Each structure stands twice: as structure tokens, then as C-alpha cells.
Chains A and B, each alone.
Chain A
Amino acid sequence: MDATRGALQRAIEVCVAASGFEETCLPFTRALYGTAVRLTQRPEDASDLVQETFLRAYRGFNRFREGSNAKAWLFTILHSVFVNRYRKARREAERVSIDDVDERFLAARDGHPGLAASSAPTAAELESALASLPEPYRLAVLLVDVEGFTYEEAADCLEVPVGTVRSRLSRGRKLLFVLLRGGAGHAPSET
């Protein structure tokens, strides 16, 4: 009877996982992929990263508490998989320097007084600038500005203090401004 009870329990676990996981997690496929492709810069790596994220989430779904933030939980796993598998394996592309970012930001800011809505960057400009951003800063702006996480949620995802998120976000935004409007060699000229 114990063997049967154990088998029933495993069958129940399989069905519980299958019945709740997809509704809870799969709606975030696009958001996960969007961040993954901006991290890996390669669509095929991004797809693999998202699939691996879902597999790990599925295996740990019994530890996920119903009603908690599934999106933040999935992004935490995505970041962990990325750090452990992809960041080490891929060749780091050339990134812009973060040195003197405050001074460069001020110079770019003063060169563009009165930015109007019409001066919004094109999608290609923005993707290019994001790709040039050093990874810690890119992650911070992606999580907070694109995905809408709070500093606290982003800090949990990245496993860093909230103050680190705040600092990376500040530098990331300033550097993006420099890249997009500062003529740092990566940003296209303003039209």
C-alpha cells in the first residue's frame, strides 16, 4: 500500500505541476525572451536560455508559492542560468567604458538642451546602445525600465543589494544617454 500511495503521490505531483505551471509561467515567455536576447545578443542563445529557464522553473515549481511574483521568480532563474551557462561561455563583445560617466553625461546633457519627444531614438539606435552597455548596467535598466520591476525585485533577481541596483541604474541611464546623444562613437548622429 505504501508503494501505491507513493506512486499516487508522484502522479499527483506530475499533474499538479502540469496543471498549474503553464498558466502561471508561460505568459512571461515574451518578456523573458526579450531580456534574454538583449543579454546574449544571439536569438538562438536567447531561445535556449528561455527554455532552460522554464525547465528549471518547472523542476522547482513545487517550491513556488502561489500568489507570489511569478515574473520576478522567473527572471531570477533566467539571470542565474545566464550567469552560470552563457556569460562564461560566450566571448564578451567590446563594451564602452564606464569611466568618467558623470562628466560625459553632463557634456552630453548640455549639448542637447530641450530634448523634445520627436527626438526619441529609433529602435535600432536603442538596441545598439543597449548592446554596448556593460552587462550589469544593461541588466539594471532592462529589469527596471523595460520590465517595470521595483528596485527591490530587481535586487532579488540579480542577488545584489538595493543600493547596487540604484547605482547601476543611475550609471546605466547616464551611459545610455551618452551613447544615444553624446557622440561617443556608438550612438548615431542626431537628425
Chain B
Amino acid sequence: MSDRVHPGDDVIQAALDGRLEPREIAALDEHLGACADCRATRQALAWVKTSLRASGTPEAPGDLEAAVRRRLATVADTRARGGRRGFLGLAAAAALAGIATLLYRSRWRERPERDLPDLLAADFTAYRGGALSLTLQTGDAPELERLFREAGLPFPARVFDLAMMGHTLAGGRPHMVAGRPSAFFAYYDSGGRALVCQMFPGLPSELPEPLARHEENGFSFGVHARGAVTVVVWAEGELLCALAAEESRADLLRLAVAKAMRSI
């Protein structure tokens, strides 16, 4: 590129935006070294680009994200009302559990390496690491139950206050586990450690053999370990309930028993 033939401004712009090949960059640089006019053009355009990039983004109002979540919840509620109309009581709930089991088993055959305790432990880890957020942050159990109803979960999700057991409710989210809807809610203890509870349609026969089993008041609690995460799973009617945490197996089992007793 000669210093007598100026490159177009589009070439200078392309160089600024990283859209030239090395050979083209070398030719442009050679020209710029000898042409004050083109150097000035590049400098002016670069100044604008740098100023824009440095300007950043205006701060959004603090309540904007909450407003978005409220409007999304309204849409979810509208959808869910359509979904709930198809349910016809307990018979439908039983059929739902059967279908969910079939869906789960068909997925399980495709991915035999992931069983239910795997998935529950992974959800706990994702929540604790910030990859799973809570749709509603609240310490009010009835408010969280209302969220699950409005989200269209096809079963009643009862959220228990575990304050007497040293755990504070943090909130919850409509979730999916093993291809089926789940009520996901989280607690934290006095040390800030997380505890996750999930309730979803399923059958005890879907679970692998636990490390330990505990029978109490007609409930059968299976204790599973996945890395540092302990998962305790038990059945309440047509639902499977699970607690997952990095707590001792005995402590988590005590919490599971306390929660199950309150469902009676």
C-alpha cells in the first residue's frame, strides 16, 4: 500500500475493529507510517471507539430485576392455570407418577451414569455454588408454597419451618429433576451452610441401593453419599422427598425424619 494512494476510511475502521488479515494490517501500517492524514483519521476514530467502550453502561434501577421477575411469575401463573385444568385428583396424580417414572427410566437408560442421588447432589452443588438461583427469596413457608402452586407444580408442595432444627428457610424455585417438575427449596444453618430439599413425583423403586437405611413411623429413609454431599431420600405418597447437604449423615437423617414427621 503506497503512501500516495490512501486506504479508505473503511479499511482504517476494519483495522480498529480487528477485521483485517495480518497482510492487510502490515500494508496499512506501512502507509500510516508515511501519511499524517490517515494517522489522524485512525487516531480520531480510535478515540471515539475507546471513549464509547470506556463509557460503560448506565446503571439499571435497583428494582428492575425484581419487576421482571414479578412479570415472569405472572406469565408462569397464566401458563400453569392451563396446565392445572387437566388434573383430575388423586387418580391423575397417580398416573402422573407413573408417567414420570417411565420418562425417568427412559432417560436413565440413555444415561445410566446419572441416578437420582447423583442429580440431587449435583443440584445441591449448583445451588451452593451460585449456578442455581432461587426464584423467590423468602423465609415465609406459606409464601413459598404459593409460588409453587402458582408455578403450576402438579402436586401440593408443603414447605416446613425447620427453625427448631436450627435451619432458616432461604427461598425456593420451581425446578426440574430427572425430567419431572420439582419443588426446590433451600435452608441455611447458623454457620451459613446450605441445605436443599426437593419434592417431585417418583417411586422408591427408582432409587439405587443406599449406603444405609433407616425405618421410622412407616417411612423408609435411604442415605446416599455423592462425594462430600449426603442425600437422604424417602417417599411421601406418590412423591419422593430428598434432603441434600454437606452435613454428617446422622444430622441430615435427623432433619429428614423431622420433616417427614410433620407431613403426617
Interface residues of A (CB under 8 A from B): 1, 3-8, 10-19, 21-23, 26, 29-31, 33-35, 37-38, 43, 47, 50-51, 54-55, 58-59, 102, 105, 108-110, 112-115, 119-121, 123, 126-127, 141, 144-146, 148, 151, 166, 169-170, 173-174, 176-177, 180-181
Contact = CB atoms under 8 A, between A and B. Distances in A.
A38 B49 contact: no
Given A47-B64, A145-B53, A14 B83 contact: yes
A145 B49 contact: yes
A6 B86 contact: yes
Nearest to A108: B44
Nearest to B100: A8
A29 B52 contact: no
B51 interface: yes
Residue among A10, A105, A181 with max Cβ neighbours from chain B (10 Å): A10
B185 to A, nearest CB: 14
Interface in B234-262: none
Contacts of B47: 115, 119-120, 177
A35 B60 CA distance: 10
Contacts of B79: 10, 13-14
B135 A3 contact: no
Q: What 8 A-B pairs have minimum CB-CB distances, sorted nearest first?
A: A7-B86, A34-B57, A10-B83, A33-B60, A145-B52, A15-B181, A173-B48, A18-B174
Contacts of B86: 3-4, 6-7, 10
Contacts of A23: 131-133
A5 B80 contact: no
A38 B57 CA distance: 9
B173 interface: yes
Contact of A1 (B45, B95, B135, B176): B95
Interface string B34-64: 0000001101110111111111111111001
B14 to A, nearest CB: 8
A15 B57 contact: no
Q: Is the interface of B mostly helix, strand, loop or mixed?
A: helix
A144 B17 contact: yes
**How many B residues touch the partner, as a band?**
35 or more
With a 10 A CB-CB cut-off, give which of B50, B69, B151, B181 has the most chain A CB atoms: B181
B84 interface: yes
A136 to B, nearest CB: 16
Given A4-B92, A145-B52, A19 B174 contact: yes
A55 B45 contact: no
Contact of B181 (A11, A31, A43, A54): A11
A114 B58 CA distance: 29
Interface in B59-94: 59-61, 64-65, 67-69, 71-72, 75-76, 79-80, 82-88, 92
B16 to A, nearest CB: 9
